[in-house]
Structures are given as C-alpha cells and as structure tokens.
Amino acid sequence: MNYEIKGTPLPVVEIALSAGESIKCQGGAMSWMSGNMQMQTSGGGLGKIFSKAITGEALFNNIYTAVGGDGYIAFASSLPGQILAVPITPGRDIICQKSAYLASTTGVELNIFFQKKLGAGFFGGEGFVMQRLSGNGIAFIEIDGMAETKTLAPGERILLDTGILAMMDATCKMDIETVSGVKNVLFGGEGLFNTVVTGPGNITLQTMPAARLAASIVTPAMKTR
C-alpha cells in the first residue's frame, strides 16, 4: 500500500492498493476510487453498533479491496485542516476526538473510549466519548486546522483551551483545571476551564476545532442581521 496526502485547506488522501489489498472506512467516507475496487459492508455485533451510535460514527464500516489488479481509493476531509497518517502498533493505542477517524488498514481496530472523570467529560471540550485506535497498521486521522505534535515527559503537564486536543497516546491522562481568579474568569475571555494533559506520551493539538470554526462563521452573520 502507498498513499499520498495532498491539497489544502481541504485535503484528501489517495491510497494505492496492490491486487488483493484492502482498506476500511466508515460508511460514506469514500470520495473516489478505481473501477476494480470491490466494497464489502460490515456492521459488527450489536455492541459495536451501539458504541458507534454513541460516538456519532456511521453504523456500518466498508472494506474496499482491489480485485483483479492494482487499484486506488481516496478519502477527503470534511472540514478545513489536515489528514495525518498515524502508525498504530501493538501496545501503543491512540485516543482521539470522536470525529477524527477517516480510514485505516484492516489491522487497525476502532473502539469506544469513555472519559472516566466527569469533569473532563463535561468541560474538557472533547466529551465523555472518544475513539480508541489499537492493533497494527496505519490510521488516517482528520485534524481541524493545523496540527501540532508535542511529546510530554512522565508527569509533564500542558494546559489547553477546550477542544484543542485532537489526539493523544493512551499513556497520557486528561483532566480539567479551573481558571483561577474571578477577574480572569469574568474578563479573560478564556472561559472557566482549561484541559490539562499529563504525560508520558505524544499529543496532537489542532488550531481550529469544528465548534470554534462554526462559531466564527455564525457570530459575524448574526451581527449583520
């Protein structure tokens, strides 16, 4: 398998498959493909379907296979940003925002991940439910805006605005922290809570979360009415 990520600000990943090779994605994610790509739809068991409904994912996965020769298939992003090719290896699971998964090789497993701390779920900006990627292969992940990756040492903390965290190693821990000082809360313009991520592990940040992009479009439109 070879792939090329191209285009900005709405990128697309085009994947070249040898005969017999497969790639999987959520239903409706395919943008274009060669005529010899064969699709097989799978929903998994009842538990899988339930978890997908909670995370807002499509209820069925599609597996595309190149039949009778080499083929290609493309997946485009849904918002302005970047597509990252993320290696998934045994023992190194990745936690990402619930809208991040775009496609992957067949050895990658996509499962639900629940935030154990109520505060982080309510106020962290990522919600109670996130996605967990495990197994072995390559996953293609959507990032809103520009992606910035940082490596945290054991016990090292980073404070983030809500919604900025796009992806982290499963070894990292996420929590929230209240902004100190009444004046800071009322007039600082940064809200009441920050997301706190503690290492060890890699984290990926995004500069324009979907909610912030929507607000930046809606607010000027409301003012012109």
Domains in the chain, please, with CATH?
A: 2-208 (3.60.160.10)
Local confidence band at 10 (pLDDT 50, 70, 90 cut-offs): very high
Q: What is the mean pLDDT of residues 185-205?
A: 77
Q: Is 160 left (phi over 0), alpha (psi -120 to 50) or beta?
A: beta
What sections of the chain are H helices per DSSP? 46-55, 118-123, 182-187, 210-223
Q: Is the peptide bond before 200 cis (omega within 30 degrees of 0)?
A: yes
- Sheet hosting strand 201-206, strand order edge to edge: 108-114, 129-135, 94-96, 165-169, 201-206, 147-152
Stretch 178-206: mean pLDDT: 73
Place of tokens 């493309």: 74
Q: Say which range, 34-43, 182-191, 207-216, has the weakest mean pLDDT.
A: 182-191
Please name the residue that has the structure tokens 């967990």. 132
Do 103 and 179 meet the contact criterion of CB atoms below 8 Å apart?
A: no
Q: What is the pLDDT of residues 99-129, one digit of tens each?
A: 899 999 999 998 888 766 554 444 444 556 7
37-91 pLDDT, tens digit per residue, is: 999 987 655 455 555 555 555 557 899 999 999 999 999 998 899 999 999 999 9
The pLDDT score that the predictor gives to residue 40 is 94
Q: Residue 30 pairs with which residues in a beta bridge? A: 75
* Pairwise pLDDT comparison (187 vs 90), residue with the higher score: 90
Per the CB < 8 A criterion, the answer to whether 127 and 98 are in contact is yes
Question: What is the arithmetic mean of pLDDT over 168-192?
Answer: 69
Number of H helices and E strands in the chain, helices first, is: 4, 19
3-state secondary structure of 183: helix
